[in-house]
Chains A and B, each alone.
Chain A
């Protein structure tokens, strides 16, 4: 799968490429609006990560160009501005998601996975990891064919883990994913622990292996 990252900050571009490449994606990048339009004209991409503020133009114009060309790839907007207008306009012209800087790479990865799933799966939309099967449409979780009853937040945690298998996920990335970025909720780190504990327990009780591992106070890792 090919992703085009349109971002003028070199260091940011590099870190996104590093993370997503490890996921097995083929990543290309553009630092300017002009470069992005050129690449869109020549190559095919499955997904676009677009920074709104570029030195030579607005990322929204690139999205319009993508849509005008009839390219079906998913679009995620990345912006330093948490602007409702930009968000609405972005979604109106056909982008799939909106991320505000600073974002977690695990979050970006999960969003890309989600978009790809929505676009590629027709019929049953399932994520399978060993004995665990998650149906994204019906939000049902099965372990060895046996239904597991997770709360909304526990389900979100599991899907987030499944989107970042084998990666170390920082605690606050999980917290933000589950709680949103509500203000002054630094304690969400303590809160998230409860939910992970419960998720792990329910999966173990259902007969799954213990895939959720704690990584030295930094975060968690979901791996076989």
Chain B
């Protein structure tokens, strides 16, 4: 529900309440005013009648009719009172509509009289009843007005706000775009726009620095690594080194190699992320796969792995050649490395996907993290855990999706082009 709809709803509930209660109150107060007026008229009439009694000895000679009746009650004691009330046809069958009646007992020249004067309420009730449709019409006008204004606010006043929201929705830190600042007449929106502009600019700058840091760090690491490695390489040329010393050097060399692999892997990840592999051409996935299998043929034979290839002569997709090379190399080398002796690798390529299935031992740990950096679920202790993250990153920038499934001793990696 929109913020504005929410507030409009409250306005509507409140106006309905005011109109409902107000109409009832208005109805009764108008009725009261009208009754007061009629009662006053009836009272005046009574005064005229009483005054006339001075001159007329016979009450019959008073001009009496069916609305004004007077009765002589005698000289015995009666309480004197004036009573005004409404007569409905239910209570008095002689009338066909509501009347206001004055019932009065008064004393004149030592004689008590009872007087009844009534006046029809037809006109007045019509007046009161005409208030109801007027109220309803007014409420309708108010309703239409509120909805109209709300719509106007939504379309015109909130338009810049929705513009900002749209920009935020499309904001992608990887694209480096910002939420543009636009001068706005409404102070809150103007501040929002300005703050978002400042915020996204800062985020982009930090992100860029972070990316540059990764690249620079990887590059800066290369020279000291080269110094360590080259000095060790010179050291092992010495004929005086004993076996034990050689073992130490070997351990250092392997550690250096791991740091080098890590550094190169992270560099590759950030280079892919920085869109440094943009050239897209028609790449034959089958040809690449065949080339990589040929590249690893020695090891495949050595481990007695049988490779089942299910694909046609060629399958062309639009992608970057280097990235496809790395993608398929990583998947196939994983399938070899995590395989077992006399295991199998099945490679299936169709127009929309590449599926590599390999035999191997079950994984240890959470399979859902398999594409995360530095996650090592296989038995291979010297893995650096960047192969599949790179696969995922390549899929991301190429518009592919990659998934992993395993059942017992089979691992399946699927890339949807």
Query: A residues bordering B, Cβ < 8 Å?
Result: 9, 11-12, 15-16, 18-19, 22, 80-82, 100-106, 151, 153, 167-168, 170, 172-173, 179, 181-187, 189, 191, 194-195, 198, 215-219
Determine whether the beta carbon of B298 is less than 8 Å from that of A16: no
> Which of the candidate stretches B76-84, B129-137, B162-170, B223-231 sits at the interface with the other chain?
B223-231
Determine whether the beta carbon of A183 is less than 8 Å from that of B386: yes
Determine whether the beta carbon of A15 is less than 8 Å from that of B382: no
A-B CB pair tally, cutoff 8 Å: 129
How far is the CB of A171 from the nearest CB of chain B, in Å?
A: 8
State A196–B197 Cα separation when bound (angstroms).
61
Determine whether the beta carbon of B333 is less than 8 Å from that of A185: yes
Determine whether the beta carbon of B230 is less than 8 Å from that of A12: yes
State A141–B308 Cα separation when bound (angstroms).
33
> Which of the candidate stretches B49-57, B67-75, B98-106, B241-249 sits at the interface with the other chain?
B241-249
Return the contact of A183 from the options B219, B299, B326 (Cβ within 8 A). B326
Determine whether the beta carbon of A215 is less than 8 Å from that of B236: yes
Contacts of B256 in A (CB 8 A): 102
Question: Residue B268 at the A interface, CB < 8 A?
Answer: yes
Contacts of A219 in B (CB 8 A): 236
Most buried by A among B268, B333, B380: B333
Q: List 25 A-B contacts (CB under 8 A).
A: A9-B226, A12-B223, A12-B226, A15-B230, A15-B231, A15-B234, A19-B230, A81-B219, A82-B267, A101-B226, A102-B225, A151-B298, A170-B232, A184-B265, A186-B258, A186-B261, A187-B383, A189-B254, A191-B302, A194-B302, A215-B236, A215-B246, A218-B236, A218-B249, A218-B250
Question: Residue B359 at the A interface, CB < 8 A?
Answer: no
Given contacts A11-B227, A216-B247, 18 further A-B contacts (CB under 8 A): A15-B230, A19-B237, A80-B220, A101-B222, A102-B223, A102-B229, A172-B254, A172-B257, A173-B233, A183-B264, A183-B265, A184-B333, A186-B258, A186-B384, A189-B254, A217-B246, A217-B250, A218-B247
Determine whether the beta carbon of A101 is less than 8 Å from that of B223: yes
Contacts of A151 in B (CB 8 A): 298
The dominant DSSP class at the B interface is: helix
Most buried by B among A104, A186, A215: A186
Determine whether the beta carbon of A184 is less than 8 Å from that of B219: no
Determine whether the beta carbon of B390 is less than 8 Å from that of A168: no
Known: A100-B222, A182-B333, A184-B386. A22 touches B250 (CB 8 A): no
Question: Residue B387 at the A interface, CB < 8 A?
Answer: yes
Leading 5 A-B pairs by shortest Cβ distance: A102-B226, A184-B387, A15-B230, A216-B246, A101-B222
Question: Residue B330 at the A interface, CB < 8 A?
Answer: yes
How far is the CB of B341 from the nearest CB of chain A, in Å?
A: 13
Query: B residues bordering A, Cβ < 8 Å?
Result: 219-220, 222-223, 225-234, 236-237, 243, 246-247, 249-250, 253-254, 256-258, 260-261, 264-265, 267-268, 295, 298-299, 302, 326, 329-330, 333-334, 337, 380, 382-387, 390
Determine whether the beta carbon of B223 is less than 8 Å from that of A9: yes
Contacts of B228 in A (CB 8 A): 102
Determine whether the beta carbon of B225 is less than 8 Å from that of A101: yes
Contacts of A82 in B (CB 8 A): 264, 267
State A108–B377 Cα separation when bound (angstroms).
36
Determine whether the beta carbon of A103 is less than 8 Å from that of B264: no
Determine whether the beta carbon of B257 is less than 8 Å from that of A80: no
Contacts of A12 in B (CB 8 A): 223, 226-227, 230
Most buried by B among A103, A153, A185, A189: A185
Determine whether the beta carbon of A22 is less than 8 Å from that of B261: no
Contacts of A215 in B (CB 8 A): 236, 246
Contacts of B225 in A (CB 8 A): 101-102
Known: A102-B222, A102-B225. A182 touches B246 (CB 8 A): no
Determine whether the beta carbon of B231 is less than 8 Å from that of A11: yes
Contacts of A168 in B (CB 8 A): 233, 236-237
Determine whether the beta carbon of B267 is less than 8 Å from that of A172: no
State A9–B268 Cα separation when bound (angstroms).
25
Contacts of B250 in A (CB 8 A): 216-218
How far is the CB of B388 from the nearest CB of chain A, in Å?
A: 9
Determine whether the beta carbon of A18 is less than 8 Å from that of B247: no
Give the residue name and chain of the B residue nearest to A197 (CB). Answer: B302
How far is the CB of A155 from the nearest CB of chain B, in Å?
A: 12
Give the residue name and chain of the B residue nearest to A18 (CB). Answer: B234
Give the residue name and chain of the A residue nearest to B388 (CB). Answer: A184
State A106–B237 Cα separation when bound (angstroms).
11
Known: A105-B230, A182-B333. A80 touches B246 (CB 8 A): no
Give the residue name and chain of the B residue nearest to A151 (CB). Answer: B298
State A16–B234 Cα separation when bound (angstroms).
9
State A219–B232 Cα separation when bound (angstroms).
12
State A216–B219 Cα separation when bound (angstroms).
32
Contacts of B234 in A (CB 8 A): 15, 18-19, 105
How far is the CB of A27 from the nearest CB of chain B, in Å?
A: 13
State A18–B337 Cα separation when bound (angstroms).
37
State A186–B338 Cα separation when bound (angstroms).
12
